[in-house]
Structure 1
């Protein structure tokens, strides 16, 4: 993922906060077997310390690719919107001369994948995921010897993704004047399509913060 200096995360807490706000679905990318394309799997994930936890169906073709190469990337993307050219035209120029772009937030985790296959270890992984996604506890106990989960454990495999590196990108035209960015955020909120409102919120959040790219 290419990151311009002005698109980089302001600090490590920024991407931590963004993930914690509910951005817990992403793409697991695994190097393919020789002569085959990479395997990409969309899935929810849960954090466990510095690791990520995932579980997938046993028939998933991703397992053979992971056995071949445990180096994987997990990518989370959100708060994105297309920005029309006229919105980005410089002051004093024709609106049609503006160049369009995309706004988005993205966090990429470079990881080493560790397969979790022992029944109790898989049950513990599911318990941790349910604690995140169903914190009210409105689910049956996850136990290897009790239904409904006990009989289903053999049909899944778990993954502990040990994070080696993290790259965060918040692409919201931070190199442009505050007035310009505030205007685009207003336009996004007014258009109100897809993730426009969420994108505007991210852009406004960064208006009064200058990243390390600018002294």
Structure 2
């Protein structure tokens, strides 16, 4: 993923806060020799303090042999993406039809080392942590090995503890564009009001001045 200086996060807190609210992504696992990579959509729970991700997959999933052969994986999360029409990006001294369209998006890629957890008691601990992330209000019986209602299901899954060893984050929201162009895009997003337009607009407004401050 190409990250221009003006698209880089201000600090770790920026991407960590965003990732804390985005817990569905795609896990990329290197394929076995002669095979393409595996790309698995999944929910996950990210823990900034532990620098790790917890998730689980069904035991019959075909990616396990590849993961066991090479535990170095990439978890990719992309959201708040929108299409920006060319006229919105045209400077005032340029005909609107000469404006260049682009995409806005936020993305975080976590390079991880995967650890497979098969012990039933350990799986229960990690599953309860993941459920606690998604259901902080409770409402479910805790998972316990050998106990109903979920203990008997533990044999059908494997837990993945992903140790984060590297991070690449990007907020592509025209931070390097002239103020007049940014204002046009902000107005365009507000007027269009499509899916994710409000989130993209918030990013763009929040990141104003990032590029000028970095130079």
Q: TM-score, normalised by structure 1?
A: 0.95
Q: Which runs of 5+ in 1 are unaligned?
A: none
The range that moved more, 162-171 or 172-181, is 172-181
Map of 1:201 onto structure 2: 202
Conservation of the 8 A alpha-carbon contact between 1:106 and 1:168:
yes
Map of 1:18 onto structure 2: 18
Distance 1:211 1:88 in 2: 19
Q: Which runs of 5+ in 2 are unaligned?
A: none
* Root-mean-square deviation over aligned CA pairs: 1.3
Q: How does 1:135-150 map to 2 (within 5 A)?
A: 135-150=136-151
Distance 1:78 1:118 in 2: 34
Q: How does 1:6-155 map to 2 (within 5 A)?
A: 6-20=6-20, 22-48=21-47, 49-155=50-156
Q: TM-score, normalised by structure 2?
A: 0.95
Displacement, 1:186?
Answer: 2.0
Conservation of the 8 A alpha-carbon contact between 1:9 and 1:211:
no
Aligned residues: 213
Distance 2:38 2:201 in 1: 33
Conservation of the 8 A alpha-carbon contact between 1:142 and 1:149:
yes
Map of 2:187 onto structure 1: 186
Q: Secondary structure at the match of 1:77?
A: strand
Relative to structure 1, the CA distance from residue 112 to residue 211 in structure 2 (aligned partners, 3 Å threshold; closer, same or farther) is farther
Map of 1:162 onto structure 2: 163
Distance 1:130 1:180 in 2: 44
1:158-208 CA distances to partner (integer Å, 9 max, x unpaired)?
Answer: 111111110110000111123321321221121111211111111111124
Relative to structure 1, the CA distance from residue 208 to residue 187 in structure 2 (aligned partners, 3 Å threshold; closer, same or farther) is same
